[in-house]
Chain A
Amino acid sequence: MKPVFIEGIGIIFTRGRGLNKFEQALKDGWDEPTVSADGRKAYRVPKDALIDYNILKKVRRSDRFSRLAVFAACDAIHDSDLDIADLDQSSIGIIIATAFGPHATIFKVLDDIIDYGEKKVSPTTFANSIHNAAASYVASALGCTGPVMTTTQFYFSFQQALLLASSWLNEGRLKKVLVGIVDECSPAMEYICEEKLSVAHNGKMSPLSCLKRPKFVPGEGSAFFLVSQDSRKKKYGAFTEIDITGNSHGWTDVDLSIIGTNAMGGSEEVYKDILNKGIPVAAYSSIYGGFMTGNAFECAAAALMLKNQTQYASPNVDRTELWNVADKSKERELNQIQCISHNNTQKLVFIKMTK
């Protein structure tokens, strides 16, 4: 694959909005999750992170899900110093990947049907409940009239979206693509996670534990990358390989492996056979919580580390004997990092990122 260079990153997560906050979180390590009214723990995005009237005035009727995406997408553009007004607005594409879509808004539509009857559904709520509403708001907020697409693939939503972005650039269809993820953790999602997964009641996820049902705390957020094939615009390195075959053992010429330990795919046992003991291993999901599209956050972490030439300590790892864990934050030469995720059938997908 031709390198896909990262020009800008935008991110919103449990500790707020902005890449600086994310970088600080990687330095600080684990922190307590938020606690909802019914006592469930989750890494939710705080309300004050979603207040920015300059942006909100452009997306007044949007729901929380769309706002997560709009804020992260706008920040990625801002981070790149790109002035969209200077460009042909149809030359930028947008791809948003999501595992569960705006399910909290969908449940509001269902509430309307139950409470008021079939004919009294709020049209605004219904419009916001459609999966591509967030992408539409992003396009409107940025004034992008190029291709805009929303995709979903549960576990590998981000990887497939990134692969598509790479295809669009290869074809010459577009000059730049804003590719990212958004997922939301509603009370219903917290409940579903509690029923289907092994929730960490002490608030600590257990990355790299190899437990059959790893301890889990749900998370949410949005992360976007502005990417192109123009190496001159590179700010954070590049995506250089994406392997979605499921047959791969990854790469051995990398300096760090980041594992997507979101617990939804079950045990990380599958990594033990394929990870070269010489390569340090890290997992950061206990910082932002577990969700299927969280591997975009791992790529954001990798991008920061490649830029800063700094490895951030992998928090909350108990079973250090199983792995060569990157357990200390330190400056080090980092040329290539691979981000690996697995699904519930233990299929592995790899992304390689290069300085």
Chain B
Amino acid sequence: MKIYVTGLGLISAAGENEKETLTSFESGKRRAGPVSLFSTQIQSPAYEAKGFSRHYFPEQLRTLNLCLAATEDALDDASLKEEIRGKRIGVAMGTTVGSVLNDINFNMEFRDKGSAPMDSVNLYLEGNLSSGIHSFLQTEGPSITVVNACVSGANAIGVAMSWLRSGLCDIAIAGGADELNKVPFCGFGALGILSDSLCSPFDLNRKGLNLGEGAGVLLLESEQSMERRKKKPRAIMRGYDFSNDAHHLTSPDPSGAGIERAITGALIDARLEPDAISFINAHGTATIDNDLVEARVLHNLFGSTIAFLSTKGYIGHTLGAAGALEAGFCILALEQGWIPGCAGFKKLDLNIPIAPVTQKTQIEGHFALSTSMGFGGCDAALVIEFPE
């Protein structure tokens, strides 16, 4: 069963809409800088969605606001905004920060005094992404928030594909969102994988990742729904699979078996051979381990001439939003016929057998692959088709 993308909403440091994003990609501009959203002693550039100011919920629910803004953009794009109430529309959203009760002031007050105001708890209970969007839009259909670390966004799209294939809904709003937040910022620092300079995916001198924030939302539809609405698709979600390393909580399996299984499974799901893939939007966090494992697997499966890049150099690592934003970027690239250079990459690591594209590169063909890897040993792959 074919699943169509009829709407897209993308918000990240690269831009608050598709046009701004493409401008950033084309110019190679990297909008990272010191953290401004909270005070911190950790020196690592961050990719903030600087101009973002759309508030549907209290300002503190930044992740939910980012998510709903991207959802509204996707609904607008799909010409669906006015006609969704009561429809069989599923909502699948991925996040990390949006699922966590991590208010430092609440914790400090509770442990010091044995009591604390409930304000942050109340906000947290309001902040579940898919519940929030489901209630706001008054849709009827399945609703789930995926909290699978950095793979959450890709997984949420996969969940929506499963629902549509199972007939649980006719349309699905799927994606991911995460705000830049102090607690994971400290946590990634503790793991020693934050770079103190701009990240350089797949580069010999890569030192780690930069965190970012944003939201990516895709409007997915069954063929019947799309035809009923006389809507043309922007893309087809052709294949999806995911797997687990069963290896380590925070490090990828050095053999790459997990991500290889996910990619192979997605290609089988898409009924495609590897040589059908025009380009790959790799996970490419710029950590030593991720990039080494991922690039070796890409080389094994696709050979040394495959065009690939990581877009983390433009948006940072947006955690639960990453897989969805990057699926969206694949759609833009298929439509435009080019992919941007892999920002931050300068010098080939001899341990990595292939190099990403370094400048704006024309692409031919109709199929893109987007990969995601995350803590917990999670791996996911999406195959996206540009319709004829």
Contact = CB atoms under 8 A, between A and B. Distances in A.
Interface stretch (A13-21, A67-75, A99-107): A99-107
A137 B244 CA distance: 11
Residue among A106, A130, A142 facing the most chain B CB atoms (10 A cut-off) = A130
A246 B163 CA distance: 18
A145 B242 CA distance: 10
Residue among B145, B168, B245, B246 facing the most chain A CB atoms (10 A cut-off) = B246
Contacts of A128: 249
A114 B102 contact: no
Given A131-B99, A140-B246, A153 B155 contact: no
Interface string B90-127: 00000010011110100110110011101001000100
B199 interface: no
Interface stretch (A115-123, A218-226, A229-237, A278-286): A115-123
B165 A171 contact: yes
Given A109-B102, A110-B183, A191-B115, A133 B168 contact: no
B45 to A, nearest CB: 16
A110 to B, nearest CB: 4
Contact of A147 (B145, B166, B168, B242): B242
Given A131-B100, A147-B243, A160 B183 contact: no
A136 B249 contact: yes
Nearest to B88: A245
Contacts of A89: 246
A139 B145 contact: no
Contacts of A139: 244, 246, 376-377
B125 A154 contact: yes
Contacts of B186: 109, 112-113, 118-119, 121, 126
Contact of A131 (B41, B147, B249): B147
A119 B244 contact: no
Contact of A166 (B166, B261, B378): B166
B6 interface: no
A163 B102 CA distance: 29
Contact of A144 (B140, B166, B191, B246): B246
Contacts of A25: none
A167 B100 contact: no
Interface of B: 40-42, 96, 99-102, 104, 107-108, 110-111, 114-116, 118, 121, 125, 128, 130-131, 135, 140, 142-149, 155, 159, 162-163, 165-166, 168, 182-183, 185-187, 189-192, 241-247, 249-250, 257-258, 261, 374-378
8 contacts: A98-B147, A106-B100, A110-B104, A142-B246, A145-B245, A147-B244, A154-B125, A191-B110
